[in-house]
Amino acid sequence: MRLGSGTFAACCVAIEVLGVAIFLRGFFPVPVRSSSRTEHRAEPPAPEPSTGASSNWTKLPPPLFSKVVVVLIDALRDDFVFGSKGVKFMPYTTYLVEKGASHSFVAEAKPPTVTMPRIKALMTGSLPGFGDVVRNLNSPALLEDNVIRQAKAAGKRIIFYGDETWVKLFPKHFVEYDGTTSFFVSDYTEVDDNVTRHLEKVLTREDWDVLILHYLGLDHIGHLSGPDSPLIGHKLREMDSVLMKIHMALLSKEREALLPGLLVLCGDHGMSESGSHGASSMEEVNTALVLISSAFERKPGDIRHPKHVQQTDLAATLAIGLGLPIPKNSVGRLLFPVVEGKPMREQLRFLHLNTVQLSKLLQENVPLYEKDPGFEQFKMSEKLHGNWIKLYLEENSSEVLLNLGTKVLRQYLNALQTLSLSLSRQVAQYDIYSMAVGTTLVLEVLALLLLSVPKALGPAAELDMPLSSPLFSLLFYLTLLVLSAVHVVVCTSTESACYFCSVSWLAAGGAMLLMSALLCALVSALPKTVVGVKHVGKSPAPSSSRWSELDLLILLGTTGHVLSLGASSFIEEEHQTWYFLVSTLCLALCQEVYRNHFLSSDGDPRGGLHTEPGPEGATPVGAKGCALLEDDRTRAAASAFKRLGGTDQRMVLASPWAVLCCCRLLRALNQTGVQGAHRPDLGHWLTSSDHKAALSVLAALSLLAVFLLVQRRCSPMSKVALALGLLGVYCYRAAIGNVMSPWQRGNSDISKGIVEARFVYVFVLGILFTGTKDLLRSQVSAAGVPARTVGLWEIHSGLVLLAALLLRPHNLPVLVSSLLVQTLMAKCVWKPLNHGVAEVTVMHYWFGQAFFYFQGNSNNIATVDVSAGFVGLEHYVEVPAAFLTTFATYVGPILWASHLVNYLSSESSRRKGLPEGQRWVSVCAVRPCSL
């Protein structure tokens, strides 16, 4: 069957997408969910277990607290409350933790540690998936069973002030609310004042049962200046005064109420050492959780150290405290210290409700749940609990009753722990079978594509694909039979849920048919490819290529990097791979440069180019001429090196070493990855308040160097705009207090820098507009080539100016080094050594990736500098903020891609200006020759 290249490519892409989708479905399994369809109807609670005489307690226990106030401080790391900063900046909270009626915990937040998934975990008790990272940008309504929905259904009046993410997750659930955007990280004062301004009135009112306050200022300060900023202390003092005000108001209300109130202090996630969050470092996952209530009796001298719990445990605790059903998807456990002061029967009742809910969730998500240790412990606990109820109903008090109750209590706590761990593991377990199916489809299509090259190249190409023969081959039916048998065995013996086993047999059979057909197509296409290679090998035509050491390094380095992505540790520390590759590349370029230097100095008569004159004296265009030029490429490069002047030769010899030293110095600027991110680096030293003068000098010199490196190919007007724009960058950093300025004294003049940033944006847009105008003019003007070259470079310079504005001041040397390396490589390596287009492109890619990590980025979303998206913005605007954040994150690869376009364009223009004979020499030297 003959297929056009377009049809063949479309089919391959469709199958690749299918394979990747199946793989990702196995790699990111859906979290455990209840299959109950009665989420919007009240279910009767589980009755109290009994043996013999029936119990009369079949309803939910009454609430433990009259009013509940949840104070969620965004990015409240555990050491901000329990560490030295808490002692220094939060004295009232520290007093409550150490001596007051409270229970303190270190709540572990599972990744992804971003706001919306963590709010879901707090209110539902479930573990959100990584897909919620994307939903965090525009949170949809939460449809899962949660504490807020249960409270509203029970008639509780809920008031909310703070992050508008709550309003989006729980629409029409609050009787009163005032939301503020959480994405405008430049604001860390008004965003909290907007919450606190409501407290005076709402704390004196009686028309509410639950009050939720979400403060954002601490998180915004972290994004702007990190956890060691002096602003952190001021914000913690502010939060401490807010807690004192709320606690005093609750205590005053308890005099008239029948039940005590509950004040919950918690954080949604922590804060990394760089001030961001999103990953799984200890600083990001450990958050403070403090429960404050007069119901928690405390004896004099009772010292309680914060216990480690899961963040999901708060949902079950709040539900029990408010007299509500525990959310169906909750994997959390009741925080037992909250109810340990209650009578034994009530304690057992609370624990029984929690274990029943977890056991139901286990039954709906684990096929062999009966063999789970937690389920076995639950059944044993329930049996012992029934015996205890029988004794309790027969006699009110006895030593036997107390001992049995204590034993049942321990049994329930162990069952809760085991059940919660079993359910939590379901989220972390990979669906190996689905991943294997997806990987097989992807690899089969990839192999078929490789075997089809170069036949599939070109729009008019057609391929003779063996698509009909598999239907009549024995291999096809044997493969289909084996795959079907494997599918039956896996789906009948697996102990965990498998997505590919849950699909219909028709869909699974179609996937097996597709895999079998692709395998047979590969087997049929392989002999033809081998025969074709043998015919080429017997051809008397000379070889058209010869692999150099640099070519082998590029091939092996790129292949090795792709293979390294198969291990999670290599992904976490990918920066080490790129640091190694660019360093090795510099050494290989050194070897090539010195080899050409010595070849050009030995006086070898064969040092010139070997060419065969054509009919008119020009270099031949045929395959033989190109082959000879390709075989003599080293001699040609040596001859070109010999024609350079003495100063130029020394520059060429020193350039690879200069690039190597530059890359090595940049590694000390920003520690990244997972293993070494906590280590001190030059960036932390520069950003500390004690070294502000050094940072200011470094920033000023870096901006001057940027101007000198970029302005050389700009038009006069663009040079002026670039100079004024870079001056505006420094003014912006001085305005927000990052660097010192001679026209500012003290911090009285510090602002948000909105005017200064917009001043720079004007020049960025002006330069980009000028470059675009030159590009358009090159299409219709006679002077097209020079105008195109200038236009492309001006667009590049506009991107450089935007990068200088968005990058942190201590990262400006990264921008300067990037421009310096580009200049050295273009002038002293690629042009003198006549590197091919493919080699130059791969080198640009390598350096772009390396500079991505030199900037301090990683594959960890916690290293994304969100504050860059709000430079010059007064309010949160989604599109500009997303664009600026993306550009600031990938500024290294973007600038190297822009430079690649400029370099290839200038080389193309230079070749067009050569005489006809030399043009063919240049073409064969710069790009690979084809037969």
**What are 243-257's pLDDT values in tens digits?**
999 999 999 988 778
- With CA atoms as reference, report the closest residue to 850 among 800, 798, 895: 895
Give the span between the Cα atoms of 14 and 19, in whole angstroms. 9
Token pair listed for 346: 């009530």
pLDDT digit string, tens, across residues 834-864: 888 888 999 999 999 999 999 999 888 878 8
- With CA atoms as reference, report the closest residue to 790 among 718, 708, 706, 894: 718
3-class secondary-structure state, position 72: strand
What residues pair up with 723 in beta bridges, in sequence order? none
Give the span between the Cα atoms of 480 and 514, in whole angstroms. 9
* Number of residues that this document lists for the chain: 931
Helix axes 373-394, 399-428, angle to 10 degrees: 160
Q: Which residues of 150-179 are buried (b: 16+ CB within 10 A; e: fewer)?
A: bbbeeebebbbbbbbbbbbbbeebbeebeb
Query: Could you please report the per-residue DSSP string of 867-923?
Result: GGGGTT-SS--HHHHHHHHHHHHTHHHHHHHHHHHHHHHHHHHHHHTS-HHHHHHHH
Token pair listed for 921: 């020499």
Token pair listed for 238: 């502010």
Phi, psi torsion values for 658, nearest 5 degrees: -65, -40
3-class secondary-structure state, position 288: strand
Q: Which H or E run contains 317?
A: helix 313-321
Provide the pLDDT for residue 193.
93
Provide the pLDDT for residue 639.
62
What residues pair up with 581 in beta bridges, in sequence order? none
Strands (E), 182-255: 210-215
- With CA atoms as reference, report the closest residue to 551 among 139, 839, 260: 839
What residues pair up with 159 in beta bridges, in sequence order? 176, 211
- With CA atoms as reference, report the closest residue to 205 among 243, 157, 167, 173: 157
Query: Could you please report the per-residue DSSP string of 650-689?
Result: HHHHHHHHHHHHHHHHHHTT---TTTSTTS--HHHHHHSG
Ranges of the chain whose pLDDT falls below 50 = 38-39, 456-461, 533, 536, 540-545, 604-631, 747-748, 914, 916-931
- With CA atoms as reference, report the closest residue to 761 among 880, 852, 890: 880
Q: How many CA atoms are closer than 13 Å to the CA of 372, on its beta-carbon side? A: 30
Residue 227: CB atoms within 10 Å: 20
- Name the amino acid, one letter, at 810: H
3-class secondary-structure state, position 254: helix
Q: How many CA atoms are closer than 13 Å to the CA of 134, on its beta-carbon side? A: 3
Token pair listed for 186: 């430049």
Q: What is the CA radius of gyration of the chain?
A: 34
Provide the pLDDT for residue 817.
96
Give the span between the Cα atoms of 250 and 203, in whole angstroms. 8
Token pair listed for 326: 């525990």
Query: Could you please report the per-residue DSSP string of 737-770?
Result: TSS--TT--TTTT----HHHHHHHHHHHHHHHHH
Q: Which residues of 365-383 are buried (b: 16+ CB within 10 A; e: fewer)?
A: bbeebeebebbebbeebbe
3-class secondary-structure state, position 699: helix
Give the span between the Cα atoms of 430 and 438, in whole angstroms. 13
Please, is 780 exposed, middle or buried when counting C-beta atoms within 10 Å of its C-beta (0-12, 13-18, 19+)?
A: exposed
Give the span between the Cα atoms of 381 and 411, in whole angstroms. 6
- With CA atoms as reference, report the closest residue to 795 among 715, 701, 884: 715
- Name the amino acid, one letter, at 408: V
Cα end-to-end distance, the chain, whole Å: 28
Give the span between the Cα atoms of 381 and 355, in whole angstroms. 9
Give the span between the Cα atoms of 852 and 581, in whole angstroms. 14
Biggest distance spanned by C-alpha atoms of the chain: 119
Provide the pLDDT for residue 335.
95
Give the span between the Cα atoms of 284 and 110, in whole angstroms. 9
Say which DSSP state 49 is in: P
pLDDT digit string, tens, across residues 598-613: 765 555 434 333 334 4
pTM of the model: 0.76
Phi, psi torsion values for 428, nearest 5 degrees: -90, -10
Give the span between the Cα atoms of 742 and 264, in whole angstroms. 47
- Name the amino acid, one letter, at 678: H
Helix axes 230-254, 91-98, angle to 10 degrees: 60
CA angle 152, 157, 158 (to 5 degrees): 85
User: Cβ distance 327 to 315 under 8 Å?
Assistant: yes
Give the span between the Cα atoms of 224 and 870, in whole angstroms. 10
Q: How many CA atoms are closer than 13 Å to the CA of 594, on its beta-carbon side? A: 8
Give the span between the Cα atoms of 126 and 34, in whole angstroms. 10
CATH 3.40.720.10 describes domain 67-334: yes
Instruction: Delimit the domains of the chain by residue range.
Output: 67-334, 342-428, 431-533, 563-601+636-913
3-class secondary-structure state, position 180: strand
User: Cβ distance 668 to 654 under 8 Å?
Assistant: no
3-class secondary-structure state, position 383: helix
- Name the amino acid, one letter, at 647: T
Helices and strands in the chain: count of H runs, count of E runs? 37, 10
Token pair listed for 435: 């991943």
Helix axes 692-710, 784-806, angle to 10 degrees: 170
Cis status, amide bond into 171, omega within 30 of 0 = no
Query: Could you please report the per-residue DSSP string of 589-614?
Result: HHHHHHHHHHHHHTT-GGGS------
Give the span between the Cα atoms of 3 and 505, in whole angstroms. 30
Query: What are the residues whose beta carbons fall under 8 Å from the beta carbon of 178, sequence distance 6 or more?
Result: 160, 161, 162, 194, 195, 198
Identify the residue whose tokens are 């602002």.
751
Q: Which residues of 594-632 are buried (b: 16+ CB within 10 A; e: fewer)?
A: ebbbebbeeeeeebebebeeeeeebbbeeeebbbbbbbb
CA angle 564, 565, 567 (to 5 degrees): 80
Residue 60: CB atoms within 10 Å: 19
User: Cβ distance 376 to 335 under 8 Å?
Assistant: no
Provide the pLDDT for residue 643.
66
Query: What are the residues whose beta carbons fall under 8 Å from the beta carbon of 496, sequence distance 6 or more?
Result: 366, 367, 426, 429, 431
